[in-house]
Amino acid sequence: MSDDAPRDGSTVVQAHGAQADAADAQLIGRTLAGEPAAFGELVLRYQDRLYNSLLRVLGSAEDARDAVQDAFVQAFVKLDTFRGSSAFYTWLYRIAFNTAMSHARRQRPTRSLDEERLDRGREPVDGQPPPDARLDASERATQVHRALAALSAEYRQVIVLREIDGCKYEQIAEILELPVGTVRSRLFRARLELRERLAPMVKKMCDV
């Protein structure tokens, strides 16, 4: 099945998307009419999704939080320039990713995903897998994060948007302001590189 082939429930997904766009448009209208609290609702709708994406792009929880905050500030200031030719979250993501790249170029010391995970701790919870299973899963997740972080920024962006956020090629092209053909090409090369970086882990799993 190709990446663009319809999936089960696609009609429901499209309907949900249309409803989300309508809800966003209403909140935008209220914000522009002088109701800042409406923009707060937009923040609540998208802040977690933006943070999770930027965390994987930047590899730093602190930078991701800063970039999300800056992106929403910029979106609020520029809201009257939003024309509705694309979905609001596509427009917002474009601002967020540009902001993220600005943060990345500063190259200030950052906290890694591994450090952030250690800070949170791992308290045992009833019903969780055995400790050794949790350790194996954690190790695999760490290797995936490291492989993702080792990709160039342009490859990391398309992988996160496509594989984690589930964006369509056209949406990625809008967000990154690239031709669709370039998005497809980068995604193909990014997947190949990521697969090569993860090959030792896959081999280890197969040998168990």
* Residues 90-109: tens digit of each pLDDT: 899 889 888 877 766 665 54
Q: Which residue has the tokens 């967000």?
A: 175
Does residue 90 contact residue 174 with C-beta atoms inside 8 Å? yes
Q: How far apart are CA 147 and CA 31, in angstroms?
A: 41
CB atoms within 10 A of CB 3: 9
Q: How far apart are CA 204 and CA 181, in angstroms?
A: 35
Does residue 186 contact residue 155 with C-beta atoms inside 8 Å? yes
| Chain segment 32-76, per-residue pLDDT in tens | 999 999 999 999 999 999 999 888 888 888 888 988 999 999 999
**Residue in 57, 60, 67 with CA at minimum distance from that of residue 159:** 57
CA distance to 1, 88, 145, 162, 191, per residue, from 6 (Å): 9, 23, 30, 16, 22
**Domains of the chain: residue spans and CATH:** 1-111 (1.10.1740.10), 122-208 (1.10.10.10)
**How confident is the model at residue 48, as a pLDDT?**
93
- Find the mean pLDDT for residues 1-7: 45
For residue 127, what are its two tokens? 């019903």
Query: Does pTM surpass 0.85?
Result: no
